[in-house]
Amino acid sequence: MGVTAHRGAAATAPAAGPPAAGEPLLGIGAAAERARVSERALRYYQQLGLLVPACTPGGLRRYSEEDLARVARIRELQTLLGLNLDEIAVVLRNEDRIAQIRLSYQDERTSDEERWRLTRECLSLQEDLRATVEAKRAALEGFLADLDARIQRGRDLLVSQPQPAASPLDEGEPASPGGDR
Amino acid sequence: MGVTAHRGAAATAPAAGPPAAGEPLLGIGAAAERARVSERALRYYQQLGLLVPACTPGGLRRYSEEDLARVARIRELQTLLGLNLDEIAVVLRNEDRIAQIRLSYQDERTSDEERWRLTRECLSLQEDLRATVEAKRAALEGFLADLDARIQRGRDLLVSQPQPAASPLDEGEPASPGGDR
DNA sequence: CCGGACTCTGACGTTGACGTCAAGGCTCGG
DNA sequence: CCGAGCCTTGACGTCAACGTCAGAGTCCGG
């Protein structure tokens, strides 16, 4: 346990769907460019077990579209939620677990009881993350409301003031804050 | 120019309102505790010009309530918006500029024309930040929607499945995602 | 089969935001 | 006025998330 990251877990099933053969598979240079990250970052993510690309017999990394999507997700979790890579690892592992659950869910040998249990687990994992995100969203909403209140105060001053008849630099209203909801 | 941070700028006016005399004024230890940051952080913020507390003739820092609020704002901008301290410096400088504008706005010697110009500048500065925050909020909203969609898919599977009559571990619904809007 | 482009694995450097420690100053109640 | 406790300024350490560089290996079109 410890090297079981994503591909290791998914490989327990005999290969299913998305990672179909005959895909382009980019080298690290092209992958880095397309994912808008550095090659170093890709290697680093792999080192932390966030990403496990395929590799050639010679040991060169080959990235699938799925891998690129995973990188995009990592960046999203970094920049949007401000999670660090360890926390992101947890999220990704959960999502992998969910994918794995979907597989054994399909398996006919799985009992109904087991299916129920798996589904519950799956939802529980996702709702964890959802709570985090929702909290952040609420906080941001509050922040924005505060900002809008301040702006409105200034804007009120503006209208209460007799504007200087012919203002030479009147290049239109930027937008109506608080009015776009 | 360069050492003009916040108190330097506000001090151009002969002292007005909030920083009234006779305030408690905390030492760095108490301030750190109340602001929930380390003493080192307070010194660091000051070093970057984000915060300029008063100080005793002997050179000991003294923090006002206003200073504590400023620290809270710094933390908010850090954790909520993910800004770094340089970016935060810009935001705070803008907000200081706005406060300063409010002052000269009150000044009777200020011409109506000047008042107009100041108000425009003020609003422009605030709307800058607002745009940033709004963008982040929108992105987060999208992220959350995506998450909810996934959860709903799982939840659908749950209801389509005949639940195992007497489930021994059925400890209630955590919450209804997508239902609390 | 071979040379140029691409990639590999260490290993050390960097940046931001502090943590920590040492060697002293400042403060204030008694 | 004096000592316990709070505070000061360096200066160096740390941690995450990479950047950068060297020396060697891999791939592939001609």
CB-nearest to B79 from A82, A116, A134 is: A82
Q: What is the pLDDT of residue A85?
A: 98
Distance from CA of A113 to the nearest CA of B (A): 6
Taking contacts as CB-CB distances below 8 angstroms, the residues of chain B near A98 are 154
- The SS3 call for residue A49 is coil
**pLDDT in single tens digits along all 181 residues of chain B:** 433 445 544 333 344 455 556 778 999 999 999 999 999 999 999 999 999 999 999 999 999 999 999 999 999 999 999 999 999 999 999 999 988 888 888 888 888 888 888 888 888 989 999 999 999 999 999 999 999 998 888 788 777 765 555 544 444 444 444 444 4
Predicted local confidence at residue B38, as pLDDT: 98
Both structure tokens of B110: 């200020």
Contact A96, B147 (CB under 8 A): no
Please report the pLDDT score of residue B144 as a whole number. Answer: 95
Residue in A closest to B152 by C-alpha: A123
Q: Cα separation of A100 and A94, whole Å?
A: 10
| Subunit contact B130:A122, Cβ cutoff 8 A | no
Whether the Cβ atoms of residue A21 and residue A27 lie closer than 8 Å to each other: no
Nucleotide nearest to A40 (CA to C1'): D18
- Please, is A160 exposed, middle or buried when counting C-beta atoms within 10 Å of its C-beta (0-12, 13-18, 19+)? exposed
**CB of B34 under 7 A from strand D?**
no
D chain positions with any atom within 7 Å of a protein CB = 6-9, 16-20, 25-27
Q: What is the pLDDT along chain A (181 residues), one digit of tens a residue?
A: 433 445 544 433 344 455 556 778 999 999 999 999 999 999 999 999 999 999 999 999 999 999 999 999 999 999 999 999 999 999 999 999 988 888 888 888 888 888 888 888 888 989 999 999 999 999 999 999 999 998 888 778 777 765 555 544 444 444 444 444 4
The helix/strand/coil state of B55 is strand
Nearest to A19 by CA among A93, A103, A126, A125: A103
